[in-house]
Structure 1
């Protein structure tokens, strides 16, 4: 057993699942993939944890029942419970891509599993959890019928365990793999680098854009990646969309997303440019948009600009406000786990006040239900989206 500090005992008893080095007195467990028991100062059992270094932590609590093994039976139960929670998504006729298993929120930290129309993508976030991959795959196959399995290791050196091919077993997915979300088609690639072409956690926001905000509107989508928000807007009747991203491949990827929905990309603007430079251009040309989408990465660096959501989101929003039409909308989004919704709302309030423009918050979004979070672990509720209407 490993002895932990009093405050850590209190946190774990309150449901906090992350294990960090500073909770231990002297001896700290280090061996990846091992299961250890934690005890208080009186040598009484507190919890069982799986060791696996990930970001700020070195492991995750898996149980508060002494003697619990991290074995096939335990994993099978967790996967089965997660699948049962997503029964309605499996039955959906309009959406066939979503998250099946969301890490510690579904009981096993360091692992996410996504469903792409029968193809499955495992994301391994620590070597510790990856060392149990054979057992986890076996349990998964017991519960779920699938076409094929892919995996990405997101720890240490990229591709450390899956060197050239992310395909694991079963049938290989077509390239592109066309998935459906709210009856919109999206081209995805399960074996093409770290990303797949779509961020599944923004599903509810894309649907809202399509159904509520787009008809007859001019839309600017910044940090647009493959243009998913732009396509949702176009499917909702936007008269024109402009997608801006600094990555060269965004042009072809965005055009592809329009094309798989039988939309002509030539009817829209796809611009490869630093977003901050584009804001200057738009101001200089006195451009205005009815809807501006701000969904930056938590941290980004180009040749001339370094952006940190924690420090610079207000500046980004300020520039968006200047090119938003009267009665227009801004979708302000961040996936920075260290920014709370309260913090985000304070940034929005201060920025609009500095611009002397009145506004109202129309609605907010967090993660969809398949991206489950824990109230006892606020960082698991990482996605914050605020829909803002500029009143003047």
Structure 2
């Protein structure tokens, strides 16, 4: 008999709603001696079968569900069918957007908990974030080589969250190395240079694709301040839409240098695009003192809250930065503001932005809501998959 975990009484409710996580406090006992990542059967307190899950003794998420089908085996065919289903799900947005960069696997939302795979031209960039995926890594990579024979595979499992699963960090080529880890992808006619080795996350922020496109719709003739600009991709859409001026701000000179390359890559050198290496919070205060004004400001900061304990501080940070931006906007100016903190719920984020408007002594209204692109789906049973939220506000 395979190893299994028995739940405490009344702790099966989330599984009956098909949520994929089982927390340590829900577990009554472990029967057998499963290794980290081993597949275990999950039973309720009365012995009723509920699911098959990957066991993770080091994590607060003690098990992640693979399947709620008792007859489904966690084998090569399982991974192949999941990946093919995910690829089929993305066919329309890939074609519609002319995408050569997209998210292939979005973890729990694609029924492969702890796995992220992004496609960058001819490279699959993979993050293995859970014990279950790590345990099955050789099957996974073999399946990927079968489905995508013309693609190279690069691993970006170099993130601290792996330590919570009792895993070390891992990074590098899985297949035969290519000459370079840099590739050029396309989205909606815009070319973007990506480095799968040195870039953030798996190499780039694919989830903001729709938001970048939205920014371009408002950009024509406007002076624009692009904060936390990273490699300047919001600016590419704005410059291509004939913005009057775009200023990119980031603390990383490496990111700004790549932003300049992206401008040249798209033949936008004749556009009025500037690059400022500076801390965004400090620069916004400096611009306020100088009475600088802009027609449009983009705020796409990094995650401010990694845990519930950090949420109050994150709210203060979001409020401060939005207040400063609002004070720099011309009348009827446009603010694109985002939070990628999963713990920051939409209603709370809207409240924080509303409080910022009060402090800035500005009136405003939401004219569009934005979220992660369609290749980052949100499972109905896994609301945690909804993490990126954005507002386009017009300020009086």
State TM-score, norm by structure 1. Answer: 0.90
Change (3 A) 1:178 1:219: same
Q: Residue 175 of structure 2 aligns with which residue? A: 169
Q: 1:144 aligns with which of 145, 148, 151?
A: 148
Q: Residue 38 of structure 1 aligns with which residue? A: 42
Return 5+ residue gaps in structure 1 as ranges: 302-306
Count residues with an aligned counterpart: 384
Contact 1:221–1:241 (Cα < 8 Å) also in 2 = yes
Contact 2:55–2:131 (Cα < 8 Å) also in 1 = no
Instruction: Indicate the SS of the match to 2:262.
Output: helix
- In 2, the alpha carbon distance for the partners of 1:346 and 1:16 equals 28
Contact 1:219–1:292 (Cα < 8 Å) also in 2 = yes
Q: Residue 73 of structure 2 aligns with which residue? A: 69
Contact 1:364–1:384 (Cα < 8 Å) also in 2 = yes
Q: 1:279 aligns with which of 262, 279, 284?
A: 284
Instruction: Indicate the SS of the match to 1:262.
Output: coil
1:185 paired with 2:205, answer no
Task: Using the TM superposition, give the Cα deviation of residue 342 of structure 1 relative to its aligned residue in structure 2, in angstroms.
Answer: 1.3
Change (3 A) 1:56 1:26: closer
Change (3 A) 1:64 1:175: closer
1:107-256 equivalence runs, <5 A: 107-153=111-157, 154=159, 155-156=162-163, 160=168, 162=170, 166-170=172-176, 172=178, 174=180, 176-192=182-198, 194-195=200-201, 198-210=204-216, 212-256=217-261
- In 2, the alpha carbon distance for the partners of 1:223 and 1:162 equals 27
Instruction: Indicate the SS of the match to 2:253.
Output: coil
Contact 1:4–1:41 (Cα < 8 Å) also in 2 = yes
- In 2, the alpha carbon distance for the partners of 1:160 and 1:281 equals 42
Instruction: Indicate the SS of the match to 2:175.
Output: strand
Contact 1:147–1:170 (Cα < 8 Å) also in 2 = no
Query: Residue by residue, what CA displacement relative to the aligned partner does 1:335-357 show, whole Å, maximum 9, x if unpaired?
Result: 10111111111222222233332
- In 2, the alpha carbon distance for the partners of 1:61 and 1:148 equals 29
Q: Residue 309 of structure 2 aligns with which residue? A: none
Q: Residue 376 of structure 2 aligns with which residue? A: 371
Return 5+ residue gaps in structure 2 as ranges: 307-311
Q: 1:294 aligns with which of 299, 302, 311?
A: 299
Q: Residue 6 of structure 2 aligns with which residue? A: 3
Contact 2:34–2:40 (Cα < 8 Å) also in 1 = no
Task: Using the TM superposition, give the Cα deviation of residue 41 of structure 1 relative to its aligned residue in structure 2, in angstroms.
Answer: 1.5
Output the aligned Cα RMSD: 2.7
Change (3 A) 1:175 1:4: closer
Q: 1:12 aligns with which of 11, 15, 19?
A: 15
1:346 paired with 2:357, answer no
Structure 1 range deviating more: 276-285 or 87-96: 87-96
Instruction: Indicate the SS of the match to 1:169.
Output: coil
Task: Using the TM superposition, give the Cα deviation of residue 316 of structure 1 relative to its aligned residue in structure 2, in angstroms.
Answer: 1.3
- In 2, the alpha carbon distance for the partners of 1:93 and 1:364 equals 20
Task: Using the TM superposition, give the Cα deviation of residue 87 of structure 1 relative to its aligned residue in structure 2, in angstroms.
Answer: 1.5
